[in-house]
Amino acid sequence: MKQLILVWLLLVGGTLACVAKEAAPVMGDAAMQERVMKLSGELRCLVCQGQSLADSHSDFAIDMRNKIMALMNQGMSDQEVKDFLVDRYGEFILYSPPFSGITTMVWLGPLVLFTIGAGVLFFNLKRRRKTVTETTLSPEEESRVHSLLNKESGDKHA
Amino acid sequence: MGRFLVPLGVFGLLAVFLFIGLSLKPSEIPSPLLDKAAPVFSLPQLHEPDKTFAPAELRGQVWLFNVWASWCVSCRQEHPVLMQLARTGEVPIYGLNYKDAREDGLRWLQQFGNPYVASAYDNAGQVGIDYGVYGVPETYVIDREGVIRHKHIGPISPDVLTNEILPIVRKLKG
């Protein structure tokens, strides 16, 4: 039991150490740090474009986090910090693009494609049901089918 | 026949989009600073720390603002092109020594040559942030009124210089 607790402590300690390392470049009190990390989670690291500023360990992300903290210390609101960065780096730095201009396509595109897809599927299924029910066999055809099927199974057994 | 036209059309459309995608460079983000006044700053010069460099002093001339650093590998690649350009004297190049140690920057210029009329020393990288620098080297073309007319991200190749930067410089000089 003692050993288990030790292992658990080690694991938890290890995780905490990782978290501490991630936040290390940004100094300040815990509440401010949380604010910085939350906001940088909504901003893109321009060097490693698949990551947010909070996730990235690149020099650029560290610089940006420090800058964000400096701006917050000057008394800027989250929105003002965002505007500051957009003025310099462009809207691309925002992880979720704004709902305006060409980026409307990004927001509405999936919905439009889904509607088109669902529509095509709906009409195709409707049409298919009609064709399936319409196919009926005449008595002669039915007896031919039977004889063919019997012949086939007979061949296989032979 | 009609059965094949739709998938063929979809395929064609997809192929066109993917082909366009091939030539896009997602690492080059268009700068919001284009056609806006170059951000104002005043920094000590790299060679003479007592003197300052401010873009406002360059009103009335077309100039290039090149962000460089001794730790930047691609800067080495574009360096001969800048040296060549400096020799022609067609357009003055001013540098922003970005997040560098002063002695490293000076040694770098001594070793490879100095194409800059002057370099501003931005050790803290704060001016870099104002200019939206995220990858060194970056080069800005700034006009007589102090407005940023062009930004090139990444090293300047001879091709970029003759086909992209110089035509803009010549147009701005009229």
Helix %, strand %, coil % for chain B, to 5? 45, 20, 35
- CB nearest B134 (choices: A47, A86, A87): A47
pLDDT for residue A134: 67
pLDDT for residue A27: 55
Q: Which residue of B has its CA nearest to A65?
A: B129
Q: Across residues B6-13, what is the average pLDDT?
A: 93
- CB nearest A90 (choices: B31, B129, B131): B31
Q: What's the pTM value of the predicted model, to 2 decimals?
A: 0.71
Structure confidence by residue, pLDDT tens digits, B112-143: 999 999 999 999 888 999 999 988 899 999 99
Structure confidence by residue, pLDDT tens digits, A81-93: 999 999 999 888 9
Structure confidence by residue, pLDDT tens digits, A32-70: 889 999 999 999 998 887 889 999 888 889 989 999 999
Instruction: Please give, rounded to a whole number of angstroms, the shortest distance from the CA of B78 to a CA of chain A.
Output: 20
Closest CA to A40 of A21, A22, A18: A22
A60 neighbourhood in chain B, CB within 8 Å: 134
Q: Tell me where in chain A the CATH 1.10.8.640 domain(s) lie.
A: 24-93
Eight-state DSSP code of residue B27: T
Subunit contact A90:B32, Cβ cutoff 8 A:
yes
Closest CA to A96 of A106, A105, A83: A106
Among A52-61, A99-108, A129-138, B118-127, the minimum mean pLDDT is found in A129-138
> In a mutagenesis test of the B interface, which of A53, A59, A63 is the best target, namely the one with the most B β-carbons within 10 Å?
A63
Q: Are B120 and B43 in contact (CB under 8 A)?
A: yes
Structure confidence by residue, pLDDT tens digits, A7-36: 555 555 544 444 444 444 445 588 888 999
Say whether pLDDT at A78 is over 50.
yes
CA separation for the pair B53, B65 (Å, rounded): 12
Say whether pLDDT at A132 is over 70.
no
Identify the contact set of chain B against chain A, taking CB-CB distances under 8 A: 26-27, 29-33, 99, 125, 129-132, 134-135
Q: Which residue of B has its CA nearest to A70?
A: B126
The CATH code of the domain at A24-93 is 1.10.8.640
Q: Which residue of B has its CA nearest to A49?
A: B27
Instruction: Please give, rounded to a whole number of angstroms, the shortest distance from the CA of A67 to a CA of chain B.
Output: 8
CA separation for the pair B62, B26 (Å, rounded): 29
Closest CA to B66 of B134, B130, B151, B144: B151
Q: How many CB atoms lie within 10 A of CB A21?
A: 10
CA separation for the pair A117, A51 (Å, rounded): 31
CA separation for the pair B156, B168 (Å, rounded): 14
Subunit contact A47:B131, Cβ cutoff 8 A:
no
Say whether pLDDT at A153 is over 80.
no
Subunit contact B134:A67, Cβ cutoff 8 A:
no
Q: Are B94 and B58 in contact (CB under 8 A)?
A: yes
Higher pLDDT residue, A10 or B110? B110
Q: Are B110 and B171 in contact (CB under 8 A)?
A: no
3-state secondary structure of B44: strand
Closest CA to B100 of B117, B130, B65, B75: B75
Alpha helices in B24-157 (DSSP H): 73-88, 102-112, 126-130
CA separation for the pair B98, B136 (Å, rounded): 8
CA separation for the pair A76, A88 (Å, rounded): 16
Subunit contact A63:B129, Cβ cutoff 8 A:
yes
Structure confidence by residue, pLDDT tens digits, B29-88: 778 888 999 999 999 999 999 999 999 999 999 999 999 999 999 999 999 999 999 999
Q: Are A113 and A119 in contact (CB under 8 A)?
A: no
Q: For chain A, how far is it from start to end, CA to CA, in angstroms?
A: 71
Q: Across residues A137-143, what is the average pLDDT?
A: 87
Phi-psi category of residue A23: left, alpha or beta, with phi > 0 → left and psi -120 to 50 → alpha: alpha
What is the ipTM, given to two decimal places?
0.77
